[in-house]
Amino acid sequence: MSAFLGFVMRTRLGAIGVVALGAALPLLFWVSGGILALITLRRGLAEALIVLAGASAVLLPLYAVLLGTPMAILQPLALIWMPVIALAQILRQTVSLPTTLQTGAGLAAVGVVSFYALHGDPAAFWQGTLQSLAQMLSGGQPGAEWEQAAAQLAPRLTGLWVSNMLAIATVCLLLGRWWQALLYNPGGFRSEFHSLRFAAWFAGVALIAVLGGWITGPGLLADVGLILGAIFLLQALAVAHALVARRGWHTGWLIGFYLILPLMLRPAAMLGLVDTFVDFRARFAPAT
């Protein structure tokens, strides 16, 4: 891994090639995002934008041939690369992972509010989008079951869509931060992640949004609560990793935690949120 990262950081053309290849190959978009985060963290915003421009230039003809339109480049540009670079630049300036992630969640919440202001009724927008998609895929009018499922999903899609974008950007940022530590500060990311803890005011705002969303049902407040609450999954993961490391538990505990995590996303997020006020690491595994 270090040899691969060293190659990427040695030459600009190598970085451009890896970013373009990661975007072109299925399921490797996280590699391109992680490399852009690493470059931003280590060399700054200007260098990251140069690499981004080079990768876009490489992908334009490829997208034109394979997808029929070079404008398909806008999808990874807007949904992955620019958010990752923005978060990495914030982390570079603040040198604080909690502050960076809080800022990213706040910007995502502003994006949700802007989407509501732009479309007025996002549920109607998503229902129309889902209906058009069904017609395109099936070649005819969707059935009653599809329309019922779309009607149930549409009010929640704004929050799910934006939180998904934030999750991708966050994973790519953490990957870039880990790679930076591998190259220049071995062990640094481990200690930084183990101590991840968001501010009490941010946890309070998130708790109000989450509870308000539960009370009011699908809508703006629920979507904002979803985004602000989901970021506390990372704090729950940080608590789990820190407890295992500090108490000397077998890594099987972490494997088991990750296996059941998809079944308990909300409880895990609430655990991370509560940790802001309780501090489980200080209570059960003080740092040595």
Instruction: Give per-residue burial for 92-112: e unless 16+ CB within 10 Å, then b.
Output: beeeebbbbbbbbbbbbbebb
- In Å, how far are 121, 127, 154, 275 from 148, measured between CA atoms? 18, 10, 10, 39
Instruction: Give per-residue burial for 19-37: e unless 16+ CB within 10 Å, then b.
Output: bbbbbbeeeebebbbbbbb
What would the pLDDT profile of 38-50 be if each residue is shown by its tens digit? 999 999 999 999 9
- In Å, how far are 16, 47, 109, 203 from 22, measured between CA atoms? 10, 18, 28, 35
* Six token digits for residue 247: 């108490």
Question: Would you say residue 211 lies in a domain?
Answer: no
Give the 3-state secondary structure of residue 69. coil
For residue 61, the model assigns a pLDDT of 82
Number of domains in the chain: 1
In whole angstroms, give the CA distance from residue 215 to residue 210.
9
Question: Would you say residue 9 lies in a domain?
Answer: yes
Question: Would you say residue 145 lies in a domain?
Answer: no
Question: Would you say residue 259 lies in a domain?
Answer: no
Question: Would you say residue 69 lies in a domain?
Answer: yes
For residue 123, the model assigns a pLDDT of 87
* Six token digits for residue 217: 């049902």
* Six token digits for residue 198: 């968001």
Question: Would you say residue 83 lies in a domain?
Answer: yes
Instruction: Give per-residue burial for 115-147: e unless 16+ CB within 10 Å, then b.
Output: bbeeeeebbebbbeebbeebeeeeeeebeeebe
Question: Would you say residue 76 lies in a domain?
Answer: yes
**Helices 122-138, 144-184: inter-axial angle, 10-degree rounding:** 100
For residue 49, the model assigns a pLDDT of 95
Q: Which domain holds residue 76?
A: 1-95
In whole angstroms, give the CA distance from residue 38 to residue 35.
5
What would the pLDDT profile of 180-239 be if each residue is shown by its tens digit? 999 998 889 999 999 999 999 999 999 999 999 999 988 999 999 999 999 999 999 999
In whole angstroms, give the CA distance from residue 279 to residue 276.
6
In whole angstroms, give the CA distance from residue 38 to residue 63.
25
Question: Would you say residue 210 lies in a domain?
Answer: no
User: Could you say which residues of the chain have pLDDT below 70?
Assistant: 66-73, 137-143, 287-288
Give the 3-state secondary structure of residue 217. coil
Asked whether 122 and 158 are in contact (CB, 8 A), the reply is yes
